[in-house]
Amino acid sequence: MDGDAALRAAASSMFGLEAAQLLLDRGANIRAYHDAALRDSALRDAALSDQRGDVVPCLLDRGADIHACKDQALVNARARRNDIAVQILLESGGDRSVLDYMERIMQVPRWPEDEDLDDESFLVWLATGEYPC
């Protein structure tokens, strides 16, 4: 396991803060996986599991990009209902509009899976949110 993968693993472990600090002190690259295709970063992983609220600020203080992959850390923290990480990320400059967008998506009505989808019914549903009888 390379140092960057180890940092991501440490950020989401029960030894998170101490292990992350040790790896960073020894040169682990905090920005190693900020590739949008990979969507892996220590901050993203910490946002999923940092229930004490100590790893996320440590990573931010060490230069983690809060906006990496379109604020993926914030998205993951909200999806996991990690309110502590959400609050820390927002207070540190996370993009609140990302959460607003998530809320709107969650409210979009879904087409019932057992209903046939014809063009007219789909257009009525799209316009009104209700499927015709």
CATH number of the domain at 25, please: 1.25.40.20
CB contact burial 52-89 (16+ within 10 A = b; e otherwise) = eebbbbbbbebebebebbebbbbbbbbeeebeebbebb
- Residues 23-58 have pLDDT tens digits of 788 887 776 654 444 445 788 888 888 888 888 998
Q: With beta carbons less than 8 A apart as the criterion, state whether 59 and 46 touch.
A: yes
Rounded to whole angstroms, the Cα distance separating 72 from 48 reads 10
Q: Count up the domains in the chain and report the number.
A: 2
Whether 82 and 104 map to the same domain: the answer is no
Whether 46 and 74 map to the same domain: the answer is yes
Task: Assign 32 to helix, strand or coil.
Answer: coil
Whether 72 and 20 map to the same domain: the answer is yes
Whether 13 and 55 map to the same domain: the answer is yes
Whether 33 and 85 map to the same domain: the answer is yes
Whether 124 and 101 map to the same domain: the answer is yes
Question: In the structure, how many helices (H) and strands (E) does the chain have?
Answer: 8, 0
- Residues 65-104 have pLDDT tens digits of 889 888 889 988 998 889 999 999 999 999 999 988 888 7
Whether 90 and 112 map to the same domain: the answer is no
Rounded to whole angstroms, the Cα distance separating 33 from 26 reads 18
Least confident of 2-6, 14-18, 67-71, 106-110: 2-6
Domain extent, residue 22, equals: 3-94
